Amino acid sequence: MEILPYIFIAIVGLLSGIVSGMSGGGGAMLMIPAYIFSGLPPQMAVATAKFSGLGGDFGGLRAFIKSGHIRKDVVKVMIPIAIVIGLITPLIFAAIESKGFQIVLALFMIAMLPTLFLKKRTVKPPTRKHRFIGYSLYTVVLFLQGLFSGGIGSLAVYILNLLFGATKIETMATRKAIVAVMSPIAVIALFIGGFISFWLGLVGLVTAFIGTHIGTKIILKQGELFVTITMAAVIFVSSVALLVNAL
The answer to whether the predicted template modeling score (pTM) of the entire model surpasses 0.85 is no
Is the pLDDT at 51 greater than 70? The verdict is yes
Range of weakest confidence among 18-22, 174-178, 195-199, 242-246: 242-246
Mean pLDDT for the stretch of residues 176-187: 90
Q: What are phi and psi of 114, to 5 degrees?
A: -60, -25
> What single letter denotes the amino acid at residue 77?
V
Cα distance between residue 201 and residue 195, in whole Å: 11
pLDDT of residue 241: 72
The per-residue pLDDT for range 208-217, each reduced to its tens digit, is 999 988 888 8
- Averaged pLDDT of the chain: 81
- Would you place residue 246 in the very low, low, confident or very high pLDDT band (cuts 50, 70, 90)? low
The full length of the chain comes to 247
Q: What are phi and psi of 237, to 5 degrees?
A: -65, -40
Burial 27-64 (b: 16+ CB within 10 A, else e): bbbbbbbbbbebebeeebbbbbbbbbbbbbbbbbbebb
pLDDT of residue 138: 95
* 232 φ/ψ sector (left φ>0, alpha ψ -120 to 50, else beta): alpha
The per-residue pLDDT for range 116-160, each reduced to its tens digit, is 666 544 446 678 888 999 999 999 988 877 776 656 677 788 899
Is the pLDDT at 201 greater than 90? The verdict is yes
Range of weakest confidence among 37-46, 103-112, 175-184: 103-112
> What single letter denotes the amino acid at residue 159?
I
Cα distance between residue 222 and residue 105, in whole Å: 30
Mean pLDDT for the stretch of residues 171-186: 89
Strand, helix or coil for residue 86:
helix
Considering only CA atoms, which of 213, 221, 192, 217 is closest in space to residue 60? Answer: 213
Mean pLDDT for the stretch of residues 34-61: 84
pLDDT of residue 121: 44
